[in-house]
A and B are shown apart, each in its own frame.
Chain A
């Protein structure tokens, strides 16, 4: 074993090696196959609408109009909202846990939070219907929302859902910073807060970014919880992209559309089915873009970090 590791030419075909290749191949085939299948199945929709499918603002399947822009908008807005709410709290809690709490307490906190991450999303959704929906409806009464099913409700619920993910990943990232660095900083006379902000956080920055992006990926793909509180209203395109008003109106995300009844109706009708598969393709592409951007940013910040040190 050690010999083959030192000298690549001695590497033999072992069962471990074959199986590793096999499983890598299976994983790769699943991704490529899935992407290919979505492409093939959605072809009728692309032929029918062209690029209009992505930028079109009207979706009326009975009239064969398929424009996914309002759903893409909904998905992005809800995910960003969740991010804005969850990232500061999650990272802040992780900093507190790692830098200030005694070890025993920190572990207790981490276990509790990880338990939260394991709650099935339908439970979050039902809690959202029972509590959050009505709370938003009452609290924002002055703005006269038509009901409690709003993009804001979905965003807040998603924020709660991804909070444990952010916190536990940020905790891992911060804990990866060597203790000797902290000791050195304290030895130079920095306070605990200065050490945390100027040593630990910059050191762990790529990891913190990864935590946020992984959570963003989860927020994008989350279906059932969003489905229950977003209102599922089609064709909600804002008058201005930066307007805050749509936040208190119902909307639709790519996932809530895919989870709805149209998937059943579409079956057996090539064009409508193609449009539904097209939504799947758009969703997959969005998640891929986020992940790749995350990896790219991570490399950049890591390089900068190396130059500084």
Chain B
């Protein structure tokens, strides 16, 4: 028997050990003095747009490694920060007491970087079929399964293909709060679910009679169209920047970057940049409201 297979075997445990140690080295201590190779950020696809671009700029300027992911949306950002897997979370909703209770060891710190609205978007055939507004009652009727065709509420004769944002998404929670007061009070319903903003836009655009909830800045007016909300006194309110800033549009929401306690080091730098004039310009560029727009 030659020696070579034996040598190979001898190497395997070494490889194992290497793998194990590599796993253990992930950022267990995001803020502490330990040197961490990359700044890790995870969360909402909505907040991701400006943050990812800011990360791009930071990377170029400082040469630092920054990873921005969107696993699981807002609740993914909250839970990964809570577990210490990332340095910063991104969320397009306010943290609930429940979220805080789940991770008692994490001192969640919400840093608002802008604001956005949730739009109810429809596909082109619905829009050009004359359905451009929606009331809370109509939306509830669709959600509860009493309204299944657009012609029941003044639209074209087409079945309503409602794509529900999956639970845990900031978009869904804002929608639920508007339609039913809170996520817990929302009735039991099972619809096809969509996750990130890209998936939502793509699926609504390619389906006849489609309806879904989507970040207003993603409603491009070419493939998907944002319905105006009709209030009880008959006022039509578009999800426009002005209506979000004044609070007239009912489904607006703050955009947050989350940190565990007071951010320091690279995380601090990232947040400072997002709050700087330059960072706020990036927020505005993606169709969101900058902080200055809100205080107007």
Contacts and interface: CB of A to CB of B under 8 A. Distances in A.
Interface of A: 1, 15-16, 19, 23, 60-63, 129, 133-134, 137, 144, 146-149, 228, 231-236, 250, 260-265, 267-269
Interface of B: 1, 5-6, 9-10, 12, 72-73, 75-76, 79, 82-83, 101-103, 159, 161, 163, 166-169, 183-184, 186, 188, 190-195, 199, 202-203, 206-207, 209-210
B210 A264 contact: no
Most chain A Cβ neighbours within 10 Å, of B161, B191, B192: B192
Q: Which of A60, A233, A250, A261 has the most chain B CB atoms closer than 10 A to its own CB? A: A261
B75 A15 contact: no
9 contacts: A62-B188, A147-B163, A147-B207, A147-B210, A148-B206, A149-B192, A232-B193, A233-B193, A261-B168
B188 A265 contact: no
A261 B9 contact: no
A264 B75 contact: yes
Contact of A15 (B9, B73, B102, B166): B9
B79 A250 contact: no
A233 B188 contact: no
Given A134-B206, A264-B75, A16 B195 contact: no
Nearest to B159: A146
A261 B83 CA distance: 16
Given A16-B5, A231-B192, 15 more contacts: A15-B9, A19-B9, A61-B167, A62-B183, A62-B188, A63-B188, A134-B206, A137-B207, A148-B206, A232-B166, A232-B193, A233-B192, A250-B192, A261-B166, A264-B168
A146 B204 CA distance: 11
Contacts of B207: 137, 146-148
Contacts of B101: 268
Contacts of B188: 60, 62-63
A62 B184 CA distance: 7
Nearest to A233: B192
A260 B1 contact: no
Nearest to A60: B188
Contacts of A1: 1
A147 B192 contact: yes
Contacts of B194: 232
A69 to B, nearest CB: 13
A63 B186 CA distance: 11
A142 to B, nearest CB: 14
Nearest to A63: B188
Contacts of B159: 144, 146
A79 to B, nearest CB: 20
Contacts of A262: 166-168
Given A147-B207, A149-B203, A267-B79, A260 B166 contact: yes
A289 B191 CA distance: 31
B190 A269 contact: no
Contact of B72 (A129, A134, A264): A264
Sorted nearest first, the 7 A-B pairs with minimum C-beta distance are: A268-B102, A231-B192, A250-B192, A261-B168, A264-B72, A232-B193, A234-B190
Nearest to B184: A62
Contacts of A144: 159
A260 B103 contact: no
B193 A231 contact: yes
